[in-house]
Amino acid sequence: MQLNEVYSVKTIDRVTVELGETVDRIFDLAIGMETEDGVIWVHGPGDDSVIAFTPLGIGNLQALILMNRDLER
């Protein structure tokens, strides 16, 4: 029996502050990520939803940010 190892997630707003990036940049990077990469959508009442990241997802975002910076040079 496999148990889910995710114990917490951070919203995109929290992650942008921690990584010193903009919401738009993080969203653009995250839109191509899959659940296996550590990204999930949290749905609230009505049509409200927010993208959130597991610790693995934050690590993957950091790698994507570094790769994109290298490409921009």
Cα–Cα distance for residue pair 73/40, rounded to 1 Å: 31
Q: What pLDDT does residue 49 have? A: 93
Cα 30 versus chain centre, distance: 6
User: What is the three-class DSSP state of 18?
Assistant: helix
C-alpha 68/C-alpha 73 separation (Å) is 9
10 burial via Cβ count (<10 Å: 0-12, 13-18, 19+)? middle
pTM attached to this predicted model: 0.85
Residue spans of the chain under pLDDT 50: none
In angstroms, the CA 10 to CA 50 distance is 10
Amino acid 6: pLDDT:
80
Boundaries of every domain in the chain:
10-72
